[in-house]
Amino acid sequence: MTVSSVSRALSTSSVATSFAPYASSLGVSTSKLTKSLLASIVTLILMGEGVSFAYAAQPDAAKLAAGVEQKVIDWRRDLHQHPELSNREFRTSKIIEKHLKSLGLEVQTGIAHTGVVAILKGGKLKGGKLGPLIALRADMDALPVTEVVDLPFASKATDTYRGQTVGVMHACGHDTHVAMLMGVAENLVKVKDSLAGDVMFIFQPAEEGAPDGEEGGAELMLKQGLFAKRKPDQVFGMHVTSSMPSGMIGVRSGPAMASEDSFTIKVKGRQTHGSRPWNGVDPIVAAAQIITNVQTIVSRQVDITKAPAVVSFGAVNGGIRSNIIPDEVELIGTIRTFDQPMRADIKVRLAEIAELSAKTLGATATTEIHQGYPVVVNNPELVANMRPALASVVGDKMLIEPGLITGAEDFSFYALESPGMFFFLGVTPKGTDPETAASNHSPAFYVDESALKIGVEAMTKVALTTLKAQ
């Protein structure tokens, strides 16, 4: 029973007529006494129903976001100036931990090396029943990229990556993800009594991939028991992108981002002098045949009307002199798909083509597949339920359904465990064409910070909508 329904039931002419004698004896108007008694009756009824007045009106996500906007910008700038590579996010995790503890949250650290997880306990449903648990995730790691953007808080950091000294930059916007989720956490703590359920905040390391020889990211967090005690009923993630104008939100139902697998093909021949190729087996020519023949997987062998696919070579390593045919050539590449059976089929075809192409030239080829991230699949029902909430933040025209994205995200591991929704926030400033803006992972990647308030509001709104009092 709600306030409005009780008021409608009691606000009748017959009720007013019944109160008339009492109003006359007290020397007040009938309407004034009626209103006073109605208010008292409504209060008593709702108290009897066990309804909390905190649930009467949903908190204003826009006001909450505006209240933490400057904090979010300050956090983002600090994190941007001090980026850290995957599994090395020590300073970042300390900042997150300190903030979450200051909010009075139950905090766990050290999961998947540097991950930080906090639980916010909200209200309960009628009868004291436990409400749902939702998870909100932000990734923390930076990239081995040297920043070229002229900012007062530009990164000057360096680190060692694959044995080389490299610049380090938040070239994918993970600094904004951390800052926004810190703001969302602060907002939801303020209104926790209005939440009919609990929230898990996941600050995840190594989304860009763990260093060679290490495990990391979402997969390791789950392996170490992230969802073991209690699995979330829904999980949400957000990512900034230069491909949309600032403040635009994009969310796609079903497959949204590609799976990612990398591969290494080692082509072995027999070394000989470049002037006498007939005395050896040339692995360079064999590698060239493999590269050419592999192109037919997507163009001729898989049904791309079902789902798109990409097979790309990113490196060819072999030989050192112009007049020496080497023993071996190494090929490195990536596979992107949106369909699990197609993903498995391409891996088989790749290995077969490599082996047979090399064999025809007297060489051998061995293929090693490095299992990467699954397809990011957004739960259709969850997306349908959340679209109105997102539209209420940015308006219908600024909420779009983007095309399939061949980039990959390890948020996909969470979405395999619980219904998930991963959406995008545009950060390309007004006056810059998103088509020509520096892309994520570019040393020139730039974030319009006015979008951060919108991101905080959107994720806050998603949480409030999902955990709306029943």
Instruction: Give yes or no: 22 in active site.
Output: no
In this structure, is residue 238 part of a structural domain?
A: yes
The pTM for the full model equals 0.86
pLDDT reported for residue 130: 82
What does each of the 470 residues of the chain score in pLDDT, given as a tens digit? 443 443 444 344 444 444 444 444 444 454 544 444 444 444 434 444 433 333 446 799 999 999 999 999 999 999 999 999 999 999 999 999 999 999 999 999 999 999 999 999 998 777 778 899 999 999 999 999 999 999 999 999 999 999 999 999 999 999 999 999 999 999 999 999 999 999 999 999 999 999 999 999 999 999 999 999 999 999 999 999 999 999 999 999 999 999 999 999 999 999 999 999 999 999 999 999 999 999 999 999 999 999 999 999 999 999 999 999 999 999 999 999 999 999 999 999 999 999 999 999 999 999 999 999 999 999 999 999 999 999 999 999 999 999 999 999 999 999 999 999 999 999 999 999 999 999 999 999 999 999 999 999 999 999 999 998 54
Among 282, 367, 362, smallest CA distance to 331 is for 367
105 with 245, same domain: the answer is: yes
Our CA dihedral for 217, 219, 224, 229, rounded to 10 degrees, sits at 110
CA 444 to chain centre: 22
Type of residue numbered 171? A
What CATH number is associated with residue 322?
A: 3.30.70.360
Residue with tokens 């037919």: 296
- 297: its two tokens: 């997987």
Number of domains in the chain: 3
Instruction: Give yes or no: 414 in active site.
Output: no
In this structure, is residue 326 part of a structural domain?
A: yes
Cα(296)–Cα(306) distance, rounded to whole angstroms? 17
Residues contacting residue 205 through CB under 8 Å, at least 6 positions apart: 86, 87, 89, 93, 112, 113, 114, 115, 139, 140, 141, 216, 217
Cα(167)–Cα(242) distance, rounded to whole angstroms? 21
251 with 263, same domain: the answer is: no
Print the domain residue range for 356: 259-373
76 with 41, same domain: the answer is: no
Catalytic residue among 55, 260, 328, 373: 373
CA 224 to chain centre: 20
219 with 267, same domain: the answer is: no
In this structure, is residue 56 part of a structural domain?
A: no
